[in-house]
Amino acid sequence: MNAPTALPAGNGATLSDPDDPVVITGTGLVSALGCDAAAALASIAAGGSGIATVESFTRPARAALVREFTPTDYVAKAKLRRMDPLNVFAIGAATQALAMAGLDEAGRLGCGAVVGSGFAGYRSVVEHQKKLVRDGIRTLSPIHFPTTVYNATAGLLAIELQVLGPNSTVTGVDASGEHALYYAATLLARGQCEQILAIGADELSPALFDGFDALGLLERDTTRSPLPFGRERHGFAPGEGAAALLLERESTARARGATILGRLLGFGFANGASTPFAHNPDPALIATAATEALGRARLTAGQIDWCSASACGSPTRDAAEAAGLASLFAAHGTPLRALKAWTGEYAASGIQRLLLGLHAARLGALPAMPAGDYLPEVAPLLAADCAAPRRCLHLGTGVGGNTVAIVVEAAATGRDREAA
């Protein structure tokens, strides 16, 4: 196992600077649960889910496809034919986050954007290659080539929204959203920009579904949704969507009268450097990343109010997370939630989960996990409730042991008012 990644020092400050932390002032959501965080959480509380049976792939499957989203609300109809759905999802989520943060056109000029995506451009790549093989190179249109590259989403977003600060794309497969959030926060801490968007976005194209299916990663029973941490786990429900967070320093937010939604207190990393085709079964990776994040946040495990797991129904991943999280939090009875029970799994979904968790904390209520037969080491934590879920240990895990832990704190209402 590799040693935890060191946090870079930028301009004499760390991300967890207690005097001027990185804060979240805007959020945006395009998801299978809709495009409004409060409504999505209300749907979950009422027994709803973003996961449903889908008949449009090569076989019927349980999947979480974007709904209640109108592309022309965010992009002119004439431009849509030159964009993949993924590009529009990200633009929609970023537009919402900028609006919530109250960042006007002048303020956006120095705002950066980091997009995390596991499979950006995959739809266009596949279609491009199919046409190349079928009809030959002379039939290919240069109009469609730009969306085949990974950074197309970040570039198109910058053009559409005129966010002209640092612009980059990050991929970390299953933990792409968490890696994008870290890189965005690092750019901010280094003084490269005043505000920055951290965006996680992926699209479930038919070809991507087929790839997951061929690897045996998906739940094949269409009568039920996967149960993260369940004793009987056979695979995940694939999903898609985009989520965006607008980040800035707390001093900057207060100076412009922005409402502070939450604070990023610490990041931790671990990497098993094992196979690229499966999740690493070593629970020590989970404990290593979580312990580093807690150390960066200057907190102990007992000071965390709840944990947001990355479990999705994977036999290997869920078992490792259960053991790793239990080793740190079982003694404290810390409530645990696996939001992919409702959102499905997509590579950059970490920002969506963090966003939903942040809004749930601000509403003062965590969603109750679906009834089921859970792994014994975490069953009590999944059933536990929390009256004041402010501090969260958020976990992102991926193939090969790629692990990211983040400590995020929901801002108290009184402190929100101070910033407004």
| pLDDT value at residue 4 | 39
Helix intervals (H) in 162-226: 176-189, 206-214
Please check whether residue 397 lies inside any domain of the structure: yes
Please check whether residue 190 lies inside any domain of the structure: yes
Q: Which residue in this structure is represented by tokens 């479990």?
A: 311
Please check whether residue 206 lies inside any domain of the structure: yes
| pLDDT value at residue 389 | 94
H helix or E strand, kind and range, residue 168: strand 167-170
β-bridge pairing 61-63 and 52-54: antiparallel
β-bridge pairing 112-116 and 167-170: parallel
| pLDDT value at residue 142 | 77
Residue 282 is part of a domain; what is its CATH number? 3.40.47.10
Domain limits for position 246? 22-419
| pLDDT value at residue 128 | 75
Residues 217, 235 contacting (CB under 8 angstroms): yes
Please check whether residue 17 lies inside any domain of the structure: no
Question: How many domains does the chain contain in total?
Answer: 1
| pLDDT value at residue 2 | 41
- Can you tell me the distance from the alpha carbon of 107 to that of 123, in angstroms, rounded to the nearest whole number? 33
Please check whether residue 12 lies inside any domain of the structure: no
| pLDDT value at residue 15 | 67
- Can you tell me the distance from the alpha carbon of 295 to that of 214, in angstroms, rounded to the nearest whole number? 40
Sequential DSSP letters for 45-109:
HTT--S-EEE-SSSS-EEEB---S--GGGTS-HHHHTTS-HHHHHHHHHHHHHHHHHT--HHHHT
339 contacts: CB under 8 Å, gap ≥ 6? 308, 353, 356, 357, 367
Enter the tokens of residue 352: 């969506």
Please check whether residue 9 lies inside any domain of the structure: no
Instruction: For residue 105, give Cα distances in angstroms to 93, 155, 166.
Output: 17, 17, 16
Instruction: For residue 124, give Cα distances in angstroms to 82, 119, 226.
Output: 10, 11, 29
Please check whether residue 2 lies inside any domain of the structure: no
Residues 346, 204 contacting (CB under 8 angstroms): yes
| pLDDT value at residue 3 | 40
Please check whether residue 13 lies inside any domain of the structure: no
- Can you tell me the distance from the alpha carbon of 339 to that of 324, in angstroms, rounded to the nearest whole number? 18
| pLDDT value at residue 16 | 55
Residues 92, 28 contacting (CB under 8 angstroms): yes
pLDDT in tens, the chain (420 residues): 344 333 333 333 356 577 899 999 999 999 999 999 999 999 999 999 999 999 999 999 999 999 999 999 999 999 998 899 999 999 999 999 999 999 988 889 889 999 999 998 878 888 878 777 888 887 877 777 788 888 999 999 999 999 999 999 999 889 999 999 999 999 999 999 999 999 999 999 999 999 999 999 999 999 999 999 999 999 999 999 999 999 999 999 999 999 999 999 999 999 987 777 677 778 999 999 999 999 999 999 999 999 999 999 999 999 999 999 999 999 999 999 999 999 999 999 999 999 999 999 999 999 999 999 999 999 999 999 998 899 999 999 988 889 999 999 999 865 444 443
Residue 242: other Cβ atoms inside 10 A: 37
The phi and psi torsions of 394 (rounded to 5 degrees) equal -95, 135
Closest alpha carbon to 209 in 234, 174, 172, 237: 237
| pLDDT value at residue 11 | 32
